[in-house]
């Protein structure tokens, strides 16, 4: 079911991980951001849009993770945009033999049979200098950064004061770092600084997973995410409700420990490489 969060901005929340599909209404149709997750949910979303008399005229994938590059035939063949890095990542995957098996291997087993891969990852990369999504509707600013994964972008629906954050600023998930990046901690902190710079223009934030929040929640989530990253950087245990006894997802502490271990291993490897004569 679509829920309105601002004038002309609606959200559909999936059963899986509170995944949010975002609909932005324009003059001739809608911009559809990160639709998902299951075949039946997307078919229902398409039916809701038909009920509104609003065809999909453009799509956008905030980043190249499987649950953000899905599509359904009922949405039609509108252009589906992403950053150049997002599109390049998808093109590299789709050109690999047996990519379907690779993707199937990371799908949650309880949903895998109902997740459509027929139109998976068909993203058109926008030029690096593109500042806005090219469509005939409210101005949607692209805020590209490298936190979580290369080619990630948040979208600021400027005329509505809505920040679509992709896989960040969640009340359900703590920061998931791109641990293959050269500097995953600084990448994440840099993205939070970008969000702070636009906070005065934001009335609500829509995370990729979790609850829609107002401007005060936007600021508190930035603060909480920064504290988590600082704790990882400093080797401290984070005081984070998403990891405590009342954590919304029981497996998040395991992901946290995995991130701690990966960062510690990176530091050991870097220290070893800095010492001559060690192999």
Give residue limits of the domains in the chain.
2-274
Distance CA 244, CA 114 (A): 32
User: What pTM did the predictor assign?
Assistant: 0.94
What is residue 247's predicted lDDT score, i.e. its pLDDT?
Answer: 79
Closest CA to 74 of 32, 28, 49, 43: 43
> 33 and 54 in contact (C-beta within 8 Å)?
no
pLDDT in tens, the chain (279 residues): 899 999 999 999 998 889 999 999 999 999 999 999 999 999 999 999 999 999 999 999 999 999 999 999 999 999 999 999 999 999 999 999 999 999 999 999 888 889 999 999 999 999 989 999 999 999 999 999 999 999 999 999 999 999 999 999 999 999 999 999 999 999 999 999 999 999 999 999 999 999 999 999 999 999 999 999 999 999 999 999 999 887 778 899 999 999 999 999 988 887 776 665 544
Bridge partners (DSSP) listed for residue 31: 24, 58
Measured in degrees and rounded to the nearest 5, phi and psi for residue 73 equal -60, -25
Name, in order, each residue with C-beta under 8 angstroms of 15's C-beta and a sequence gap of 6 or more: 37, 38, 41
Q: Given 3.30.565.10, 3.90.1300.10, 1.10.760.10, 3.60.15.30, which CATH number is that of 2-274?
A: 3.60.15.30
Residue in 64, 118, 115, 68 with CA at minimum distance from that of residue 93: 64
Residue 66, number of CB atoms within 10 A of its CB: 18
């Amino acid at each position: 079911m679509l829920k309105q969060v601002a004038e002309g901005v609606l959200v559909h929340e999936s059963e899986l991980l509170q995944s949010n599909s975002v609909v932005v209404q324009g003059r001739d149709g809608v911009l559809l951001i990160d639709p998902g997750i299951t075949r039946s949910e997307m078919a229902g979303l398409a039916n809701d849009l038909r009920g509104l008399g609003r065809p999909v005229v453009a799509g956008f994938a905030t980043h190249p993770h499987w649950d953000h590059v899905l599509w359904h035939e009922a949405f039609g063949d509108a252009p589906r945009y992403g950053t150049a890095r997002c599109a390049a990542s998808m093109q590299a995957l789709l050109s690999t033999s047996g990519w379907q098996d690779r993707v199937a291997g990371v799908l949650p087993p309880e949903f895998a049979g109902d997740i459509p891969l027929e139109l998976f990852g068909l993203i058109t990369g926008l030029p690096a200098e593109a500042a806005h999504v090219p469509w005939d509707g409210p101005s949607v600013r692209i805020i590209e950064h490298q936190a979580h994964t290369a080619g990630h972008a948040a979208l600021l629906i400027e005329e509505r004061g809505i920040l679509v954050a992709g896989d960040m600023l969640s009340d359900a998930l703590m920061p998931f770092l791109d641990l293959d990046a050269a500097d995953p901690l600084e990448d994440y902190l840099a993205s939070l600084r970008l969000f702070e710079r636009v906070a005065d223009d934001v009335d609500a934030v829509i995370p990729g997973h979790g609850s829609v929040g107002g401007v005060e929640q936007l600021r508190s989530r930035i603060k909480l995410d920064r504290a988590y990253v600082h704790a990882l950087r400093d080797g401290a245990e984070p005081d984070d409700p998403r990891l405590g006894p009342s954590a919304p997802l029981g497996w998040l502490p395991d992901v946290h420990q995995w991130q701690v271990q990966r960062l510690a291993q990176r530091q050991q490897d870097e220290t070893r490489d800095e010492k001559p004569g060690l192999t």
